[in-house]
A and B are shown apart, each in its own frame.
Chain A
Amino acid sequence: MTSPLAIDDDLWSALGDPTRRRMLDLLLAAGAGTATSLSGSLPVTRQAVAKHLVVLERSGLVRVEVSGRERRYRVDDDQLGRAVAQLSAVGSAWDARLNRIKRIAEAIEGEKS
């Protein structure tokens, strides 16, 4: 059975938000970042960034390193790879469905004639 239900809900909803995707962009480009550094590049408050970071951390897309008072975040490459793979899986799921649609419709057409 293939359906998007196979997709990790936390991962899916973490990626569903453009601000969070933008944060991943920034983290990928810079290698690492803090809520403060990220909010400097985004039109949202540091508090909002901190909330988004919690969601990203929960989904496993970023990992936190605590040193002293600082919380530095990095993208987890493996989990991001998994997310991309799941997005691709949605595509192949539709390919399989459309092939079945084609087979069924052509079988009906064949019976008719």
Chain B
Amino acid sequence: MTPQTLIREVHIEATPEIVFDVVSSPQHLEQWWPDEASFAPDAAGYLRFGDCSQGGKKVGISVVEATPFRLFAFRWTQEIGSVPTAKNSLLVRFELEPSGSGTVLTMVESGFDDRDLDDERVLAEYQDHESGWDHFLGRLPAYAASVVVTR
């Protein structure tokens, strides 16, 4: 995991069928995230946050993979209508694992690091380097670990 990847895990007392529906259907998304969600598994769409006449914003969303009751992955934050890439969007993966009578839901958001091959080479060259930046960003995984919800 790079410091630019966010991982969260939560145990939910509901079946994977229900949890999958909650994380993947636009109607449910509107209950826990944007004010409006409009997309289909095979068609890119948008998420609207707030009132567009009052400084709100619409961003693109595009489903990458939807395997019922196991995995729902999408890219978002790209401009509406543009092809989502690692350069212009974030990747969110919801992984579902049955657990007792409930589900363990793992959320992984990545793509904060819009590197290309050259940059990866640069990064590899310096990955041993102990640096101020590592010190700052290094706090993130610790922070992430401290707020993982496991009930």
Contacts and interface: CB of A to CB of B under 8 A. Distances in A.
A105 B133 contact: no
B53 to A, nearest CB: 15
Interface string B11-25: 011110011011100
A73 to B, nearest CB: 14
Interface residues of B, number: 52
Contacts of B109: 90, 94
B113 A18 contact: yes
A18 B125 contact: no
Nearest to A108: B18
Contact of B149 (A75, A98, A104, A109): A98
A88 B32 contact: no
A100 B144 contact: no
With a 10 A CB-CB cut-off, give which of A94, A101, A106 has the most chain B CB atoms.
Answer: A101
A72 B84 CA distance: 38
B6 A94 contact: yes
A22 B122 contact: yes
B10 A101 contact: yes
A44 to B, nearest CB: 8
Contacts, number: 124
Contacts of B137: 21, 84, 87
Contacts of A1: 35, 49-50
A70 interface: no
Nearest to A30: B132
Main secondary structure of the interface of A (DSSP, over half): helix
With a 10 A CB-CB cut-off, give which of B22, B120, B123, B137 has the most chain A CB atoms.
Answer: B22
A68 interface: no
Interface in B42-93: 49-50, 57, 59, 77, 90
13 contacts: A1-B50, A3-B34, A17-B114, A22-B133, A25-B129, A43-B122, A84-B137, A95-B8, A98-B105, A98-B149, A99-B149, A106-B14, A109-B14
Given A5-B59, A105-B103, A106-B14, 11 more contacts: A18-B122, A24-B133, A25-B131, A25-B133, A43-B125, A84-B137, A88-B140, A90-B112, A94-B8, A100-B32, A104-B22
Interface of B: 6, 8, 10, 12-15, 18-19, 21-23, 28, 31-35, 49-50, 57, 59, 77, 90, 103, 105, 107, 109, 112-115, 119-123, 125-126, 129, 131-134, 136-137, 139-140, 143-144, 147, 149
